Amino acid sequence: MARFIFITGGVVSSLGKGLMAASLAALLQARGFRVRIRKFDPYLNVDPGTMSPYQHGEVYVTDDGAETDLDLGHYERFTGVAARQSDNVTSGRIYQQIITKERRGDYLGATVQVIPHVTDAIKEFAQADTDDLDFVLCEIGGTVGDIESLPFIEAIRQLRNEIGRENSVSVHVTLVPYIAAAGELKTKPTQHSVRELASLGVQPDILLCRCEKPLPDSERAKIAQFCNVRKEAVIPALDADSIYSVPVQYHGEGLDSEVLRAFGIHDAPDPDLTRWYDIMDRKRHPEGEVTIGVVGKYVSLPDAYKSLNEALVHGGMANRVKVNIRWLDAEMFEKGEEDLVAKLEPMHGILVPGGFGERGSEGKIASVKFARERGVPFLGICLGMQMACIEAARNTSGIADASSTEFGPTDEPVVGLITEWMSDEGLQKRGADTDLGGTMRLGAYEAKLSPNSHVASIYGANDISERHRHRYEVNGAYRDRLEKGGLAFSGLSPDGMLPEIVERPDHPWFIGVQFHPELKSKPFDPHPLFKGFVEAAVKQSRLV
Q: Which residues are known to be catalytic?
A: 382, 516, 518
Residue 47 carries which DSSP code?
S
CB of 406 to ligand GLN, least distance (A): 5
Find the shortest distance in angstroms from Cβ 515 to ligand GLN. Answer: 9
Ligand-binding annotation for 71, yes or no, is yes
User: Measured between alpha carbons, how far is 75 from 241 in angstroms, rounded to an integer?
Assistant: 19
Rounded Cα distance between 516 and 61, Å, is 9
Q: Is 237 annotated as a binding residue?
A: no
Instruction: Identify whether the C-beta of residue 490 lies closer than 8 Å to the C-beta of residue 450.
Output: yes
Least separation in angstroms between residue 354's CB and ligand GLN is 3
Distance between terminal CA atoms of the chain?
59
Q: Which long-range contacts (CB under 8 A, 24 or more apart) does 214-218 make?
A: 214/238, 215/176, 215/185, 216/185
The neighbour count for residue 327, using CB atoms within 10 Å, is: 18
**Cβ distance 533 to 509 under 8 Å?**
yes
What is the smallest separation between the CB atom of 511 and ligand GLN, expressed in angstroms?
Answer: 15
Q: Which is nearer to ligand GLN, 60 or 472 (CB)?
A: 472
Tell me whether residue 17 is annotated as binding.
yes
Q: Please state, in angstroms and as integers, the Cα–Cα distance from residue 542 to each residue in 254, 347, 454, following that order.
A: 45, 12, 22
Q: Judged by CB, which is closer to ligand GLN: 125, or 445?
A: 445
Smallest gap, in angstroms, from Cβ of residue 480 to ligand GLN?
22
Report the distance separating Cα 240 and Cα 257, nearest Å.
20
Which residues of this chain interact with ligand GLN, rule CB under 6 A? 354-356, 382-383, 406, 469-472
Residue 186 known to bind ligand: yes
Cα separation, 400 vs 396, in Å, equals: 10
Instruction: State the DSSP string of 413-476.
Output: EEEEE--EEEETTEEEE--TTS-STT-SEEEEEEEEEPTTSHHHHHHT-SEEEEEEEESEEE-G
Is residue 156 part of an annotated ligand binding site? Answer: no
| Residue 127 assigned as binding residue | no
Which lies closer to ligand GLN via its Cβ, residue 366 or residue 474? 474
For ligand GLN, the closer of residues 4 and 327 by Cβ is 327
- By beta-carbon proximity to ligand GLN, the closer residue of 204 and 380 is 380
Dist. CA 29–CA 152, nearest whole Å: 26
Instruction: Name the binding residues for ATP.
Output: 14-19, 71, 240
Residue positions in the annotated binding site for UTP?
13, 186-191, 222
Binding-site entries: 13-19, 54, 71, 139, 146-148, 186-191, 222, 240, 355, 383-386, 406, 471
Q: Output the known binding site for L-glutamine.
A: 54, 355, 383-386, 406, 471
